[in-house]
Structure 1
Amino acid sequence: MPFSKTAIYLLCVLLLLSIFVTNLLNSIATDHSYSENQREGENFTKYLADKYGRITDAKENLIWFMQISDIHLSIFRDPGRISQFQQFCDNTVKKIKPAIVLATGDLTDAKAKDNLGSSQVKTEWIYYHNIIKESRVTEETVWLDIRGNHDNFNIRTLNSQENFFRNFSVQGKTYPKSYVHYEEKNGVRVAFIGIDACPEPGLRRPFNFVGILDSQEQQQIRTLQAEANAKADHIVWFGHYPTSCILSLDTGTEKLDLRTLIGDSKGSQVYVCGHLHTMAGRVPKMYTRHRKGYMEIELGDWKDNRMYRLAAIDHGIFSFVDQKHNTWPLVLVTNPKHAKYTLPGREPLQLIPDSTHLRILAFSDVNIDTVQISFDKISWMNCKQSEGPLYVCQWLPHLFLRDINYLYVTVSDELGKEAFVEHPFSMDGSTLNFDIMARILLMLDARVVFQAIFGSLLLMNVLPLVYLRWQRQPPTCRRRLTRYVLRSLWLLSKIDKIYYPIVLYAVYVPLGPWAVGELIDGHVGVVFAWGILIKGTFLPEPFTYMYGGVQLLFIQIPLIFVLSHTLQKRLYSSYSRGLKRLIENLPFIMLLSVQLLLAYFFWLEYGSLAFIFGPLRTWSVLLSVALWYKILTLSPDYCRKLVHLNEHTPS
């Protein structure tokens, strides 16, 4: 029995979909990372195990540090960001006493009062500088800050006077870009490598979302990595952008693959970052383990959520917990290791089954009263304080050698505040899965994703009309609404003066310039789908694809349906006046309002020149109006021809 065309099309779609899903799952797989470097990993973890020895109740071989990200200090909105950041430096850091504090970018907001314009605001940087200085937090710990994309808005060059990071940050005067800091405490040697992927020049928003590593910065990072491999047992990488949002330029020599470079460092355990703000709370635990075996963990923002992170390396084993500001007590279990976050081949997990004590870091803004642990929530044992925030309790690890087990911890302070922690662990290699959305966001390449979305929307914009134009009759369908839509689109595709402008616009979008304007104060640039030309430099900023995708999704594709609906009304409805005529054209009026709003936002972002010379946003308004007007003014003869064409097609 021969297959129908519909069945063949469906099979093709299913085949393409299955290939896509297979490739996606393979790209975000986290369960086979250790096998890539198994022999090297075994040798390294044996070295760490021999160095640190047995895990007991002593404070040696333990170091802890903190991270804060996306602070967004602003003089225009939410003054609590400033006052509570002051509390963080004055109280929280001094209570926890970390060896290091990592401030991973977007230190200031750098957005105008209208929330659309963007430029460096000196007063915001003065707030940042004064809070750190007046709190004397740098006398208590080492403060390692680095730039984020907001700290790079509207910056012509690294040495321009608008780059306030140089003068008002802690590390900016010494390290304006990527750098390394070494810390040795309690017998643990750690290299903290900061990655500054801010492009030069730094454009105003929104075309400043993806980090770019040029040839000079790629070479600098390679040098830092080689040096850290020789000097430290552990490497903690930090930066603002997730690795999925960092693009390495092709320099003609060997292009840097940041994920591979991090993975090839034997001591690399984690890359910590910010930038994605937990996707507005939709992915609160954005953590994953990469193919090379190290973890990447994005920290929720300080801006809206007031989050910070405590992390520790205890006998070579990395642990962390994310906490909301002013939530006490703070609890971090360092032994046994959390089952989800184990790093085979990068930490001496073999020390856990042979350990004599459970180890817990507990902090509060007042004295800790009790720390208790249980394995069944029935029998509770008291932990004793070893030294400082370290609490320990003897245990029998041989009772938990199989499967996932659970440790329960309760901590209370002298004011009666309590914290409860459920801590899964395993010693036979059993693990828990990472959230799939976290893996997608951190393990895919943002550029490829943006291009795929843009390309798909572009095809959706033009292929249906092209297909329908070549059909002698509209596709049949049982559903009345679907049949109505298909017939309307089919009729629309037959009008040359509508069809060709839509198709030509779709061809223009990926090729022609979208806007010509002052992308940086004093410098005119040209925006294309595939990048931006400014100051004689080409920036392959992939976020342009998402920006164009918004235009296609919310303007161009709806426009086609609105025009086809208007055409049906034009052909089969009698001429109406007043309110009825307004209601009939309401879909187009609403669409035009959205289009004008987007053009207005673009004017606020990049000024009058970009608004006037803006084919993507401004000129498309004129195109929409022209096409709509063309349908409303079709000649009666042409209308009769279309009606005749429609009526002589099978129902």
Structure 2
Amino acid sequence: MDLVVRRGGIDKRRVFDIRGNHDKYGVPRVGSNLDFFSLYSVNSQLHRLANIHSISLMGRSRSYIFLGIDDTMSIGIRGPSNLFGHPSDETIDAVEAELQYWNSSHSSSVTKVVFGHFPLSFTASSENGGRYEPLFARQSVAAYICGHLHAKFSKQLWRFHTAELAVSDGPKEPQRVKKQFWEWELGDWKEFRMIRILAVDEGKVSFLDMELSSPNQDSFQTTILITYPTDSRNMNHLSSVPQRQLLRNDINALVFSASPILNVTAKVLDSSRAFRIVEEVPLQPAASSSVSGKQAIFHAKWNAETYRNDSSAVRYWLQVSVVDSQGKETVSSSRPFSVEGKCAAEYPSTWLAFLVIGIRWEDLYSILLWSNICFLFILLSLPKILNIFMERSASYQKWAMSVSISSPIQQRRFLFSVLWFLIEGSMSRVIWLSLVVYLVYLLNFPWFWGYVSSENGDIAPMYMFGWRISSTVTMNKVGMIGNPDVMTVTLPFMYLVVTPLVLLIYSLFAERSAACLQCSFRKTRDSEQKVQLVAGAPLQSSEFISTSSVSRRTRRTFLLPACLVIACIHIRQCYSLMGAYGVSTVALSPAFSWVPPILLAAAICSTSMTW
């Protein structure tokens, strides 16, 4: 950052950095020797040590406030259990008070931009369930800028938030009003060299994401950002500004170039006529607008009335071309515009973007976790209930024999096959009871122990719902932290180890029961053939005997490699956690490390007898 300040020639006070989860990995407390952010960040050097920071700019007719939020965990848990932002109720109240201050103390219009590290989909609720979404909408935030997800997921993770709020006007009953704001995630610099140029043009917020080339690039590529009219896909669909204040007849663009600019031209394209150029408007340098001695802002007046009455938000598109002193022409990407913001276009999204940023992962984690737990309890309890019901009558034994002895099981209904699988798979009372006890243990007791922060820090237990930290670390009562961050541990373990473990154990015992019935049927057929031989009757084919033997070998050939796959997945998970939280601590935690392979080995040994 010192290099950026020195080579960029900017005031260091204008550099604004905030923490992310990587700045809190393994940091036991703020200000410790491992808290590199407090040692080296610009905010720390300028004594900006609070969780929220704001920078305000005062214009002639408008004020601008940029608010940064630090929502990292109070105790920096080592990865991978450090994934979510964790705002407190005090932080949310402070953010609202800061934003509200600018509404009440300034008569001029205010543009508010909030930025933080975590997307709202990866931000947990506060202790009392508070969240930022209704706050940002209520305070008319123009945009929330975030990062965290890296460009490997997508380079356009943007979400348009709409909240319906009750607004009271004097003694009248509160009215339901829709408030909106944008959330724009930015790809990372670390791997993809992504940066964002954000512009506020009389309250209209626009941005341009660009991916810088390698350091071996000969020269900086000319960059163009159209600041007005704004992209109709990225503007607020509902404007709270009176219509009479939206009358503008100007085109503005930011141009950054390593060479002097000779010509800047805005072109209006008509999409209904194959994007033919319908108007060209030359842009001139704005007075007193330069960066490092070069003009940066170009603008022009035009007849916006021509496009004001069009009802489509994507018919007319705007494009700006720039010619520098080297004769090189650079053309911006074209984008639709809507004069005065009368109509807005929907920005095309993808299923990946919806999954990553459109879903509140805190809620999805609860759904995925509890649905899996309910499935396992049903899987364990239903067979015993059915078994008790079947044992009261002799029908089940007759039905089971008929399923295995008569022509193939496939001729029976699928439901009967499932019931037979469940009942026969849970026949081993010792293994079944061990699975029940293990599942109850996972719900209430520690999964494993590990170094929650630094390698020399305190050892804490991890439960299904977070890490239990002692009062000596938190300086208050003992409590859980790191929920829902532990989803990176719990969901893979429950879905890839525990659930397949129960299903495989059931399959092994169901396969043994099928082999027992087939062996019994083979003895019966042998006796019948002996009687037929004495009586001189023709012998029946012995094809079923060989088929039964081969079928069991085939089933075991499938089940045993499946057990090996689950064991490998479990070993890999143990290895990852050992690298994160300590080898000895995780290795000596039986619930996570030893119980699954022991149960699986016991089931294999119990069902390995031959017939």
What is the TM-score normalised by the length of structure 1?
Answer: 0.69
The residue aligned with 2:201 is: 314
Structure 1 pair 305–483 and aligned structure 2 pair: CA distance change class (3 A)? farther
Any conservation in 2 of the 1:516–1:525 contact (CA below 8 Å)?
Answer: yes
| Residues 86-114 of structure 1 deviation map (CA, whole Å, 9 limit, x = unaligned) | xxxxxxxxxxxxxxxxxxxxxxxxxxxxx
- Taking the aligned partners of 1:483 and 1:131, their CA distance within structure 2 comes to 72
The residue aligned with 2:445 is: 512
The Cα shift of 1:196 comes to 0.5
Across the aligned residues of Structure 1 and Structure 2, the Cα RMSD in angstroms comes to 3.5
Q: Comparing both chains, which one has the higher relative contact order based on Cα–Cα distances under 8 Å and sequence gaps of 6 or more?
A: 1
The residue aligned with 1:164 is: 36
- Taking the aligned partners of 1:553 and 1:283, their CA distance within structure 2 comes to 29
Any conservation in 1 of the 2:82–2:482 contact (CA below 8 Å)?
Answer: no
The residue aligned with 1:544 is: 486
- Taking the aligned partners of 1:365 and 1:535, their CA distance within structure 2 comes to 57
The residue aligned with 2:127 is: 250
- Taking the aligned partners of 2:181 and 2:412, their CA distance within structure 1 comes to 52
Output the amino acid matched with 1:557: T
- Taking the aligned partners of 1:237 and 1:468, their CA distance within structure 2 comes to 54
Output the amino acid matched with 2:79: R
Alignment of 1:179-194 (within 5 A): 179-185=53-59, 188-194=62-68
The residue aligned with 1:556 is: 498
The residue aligned with 2:217 is: none
Name which of structure 1's ranges 461-470 and 314-323 shifts more when overlaid on structure 2.
461-470
Structure 1 pair 565–367 and aligned structure 2 pair: CA distance change class (3 A)? farther
- Taking the aligned partners of 1:620 and 1:183, their CA distance within structure 2 comes to 60
Output the amino acid matched with 1:363: F
Alignment of 1:468-507 (within 5 A): 468-471=383-386, 472=390, 487-507=420-440
The Cα shift of 1:556 comes to 1.7
Are 1:447 and 2:319 matched, yes or no? no
Which of 143, 166, 185 is residue 298 of structure 1 equivalent to?
A: 185
- Taking the aligned partners of 2:411 and 2:199, their CA distance within structure 1 comes to 63
| Residues 592-640 of structure 1 deviation map (CA, whole Å, 9 limit, x = unaligned) | 0111111111100100243134355313433443443343356x8xx9x
Name which of structure 1's ranges 359-368 and 447-456 shifts more when overlaid on structure 2.
359-368
Output the amino acid matched with 1:403: S
Any conservation in 2 of the 1:374–1:409 contact (CA below 8 Å)?
Answer: yes
The Cα shift of 1:236 comes to 1.0
Output the amino acid matched with 2:185: E
Are 1:375 and 2:269 matched, yes or no? yes
Alignment of 1:525-604 (within 5 A): 525-536=460-471, 537=474, 538=479, 539-571=481-513, 572=515, 585-604=560-579
The residue aligned with 2:372 is: 457
Tell me the matched-pair count.
503
SS at match of 1:375: strand
Which of 317, 321, 335 is residue 422 of structure 1 equivalent to?
A: 335
Output the amino acid matched with 1:359: N
The Cα shift of 1:530 comes to 1.7
Alignment of 1:15-94 (within 5 A): none
SS at match of 2:142: strand
Alignment of 1:84-483 (within 5 A): 129-136=1-8, 138-139=10-11, 142-173=14-45, 174-176=47-49, 177-185=51-59, 188-229=62-103, 230=105, 233-250=110-127, 256-266=130-140, 268-277=141-150, 280-282=152-154, 284-291=156-163, 292-326=179-213, 328-343=221-236, 348=241, 350=243, 354-368=247-261, 369-376=263-270, 377-379=275-277, 380-387=279-286, 388-392=296-300, 394-401=302-309, 402-404=311-313, 405-414=315-324, 415-425=328-338, 427-432=341-346, 435=349, 437=351, 438=353, 441-442=356-357, 444-471=359-386, 472=390
The residue aligned with 2:536 is: none
Any conservation in 1 of the 2:81–2:482 contact (CA below 8 Å)?
Answer: no
The Cα shift of 1:443 comes to 5.6
Structure 1 pair 600–577 and aligned structure 2 pair: CA distance change class (3 A)? farther
- Taking the aligned partners of 1:576 and 1:345, their CA distance within structure 2 comes to 67
- Taking the aligned partners of 1:130 and 1:335, their CA distance within structure 2 comes to 33
Any conservation in 2 of the 1:371–1:391 contact (CA below 8 Å)?
Answer: no
- Taking the aligned partners of 2:225 and 2:483, their CA distance within structure 1 comes to 39
Any conservation in 2 of the 1:245–1:445 contact (CA below 8 Å)?
Answer: yes
Name which of structure 1's ranges 567-576 and 473-482 shifts more when overlaid on structure 2.
473-482
Structure 1 pair 346–428 and aligned structure 2 pair: CA distance change class (3 A)? closer
| Residues 561-615 of structure 1 deviation map (CA, whole Å, 9 limit, x = unaligned) | 3333433554537599999987762111121011111111110010024313435
The Cα shift of 1:178 comes to 1.7
| Residues 396-420 of structure 1 deviation map (CA, whole Å, 9 limit, x = unaligned) | 3343421223213142444344433
SS at match of 1:447: helix
- Taking the aligned partners of 1:192 and 1:361, their CA distance within structure 2 comes to 20
Any conservation in 2 of the 1:290–1:296 contact (CA below 8 Å)?
Answer: no
SS at match of 1:146: coil
- Taking the aligned partners of 1:566 and 1:257, their CA distance within structure 2 comes to 48
Any conservation in 1 of the 2:504–2:559 contact (CA below 8 Å)?
Answer: no
Note the residue ranges of structure 1 that are not aligned, 5 or more in a row.
1-128, 640-651
Note the residue ranges of structure 2 that are not aligned, 5 or more in a row.
164-178, 214-219, 287-295, 391-395, 404-408, 516-547
| Residues 273-294 of structure 1 deviation map (CA, whole Å, 9 limit, x = unaligned) | 111235x335733222231312
- Taking the aligned partners of 2:117 and 2:229, their CA distance within structure 1 comes to 30
The residue aligned with 2:580 is: 605
The Cα shift of 1:394 comes to 1.3
- Taking the aligned partners of 1:282 and 1:627, their CA distance within structure 2 comes to 45
Any conservation in 1 of the 2:159–2:358 contact (CA below 8 Å)?
Answer: no
The residue aligned with 1:524 is: 459
The Cα shift of 1:551 comes to 0.9
Task: Report percent identity of matched pairs.
Answer: 20
Structure 1 pair 631–362 and aligned structure 2 pair: CA distance change class (3 A)? farther
SS at match of 1:341: coil
The residue aligned with 1:39 is: none
Name which of structure 1's ranges 551-560 and 493-502 shifts more when overlaid on structure 2.
493-502
The residue aligned with 2:593 is: 618
- Taking the aligned partners of 1:434 and 1:453, their CA distance within structure 2 comes to 28
The residue aligned with 1:34 is: none
The Cα shift of 1:195 comes to 0.7
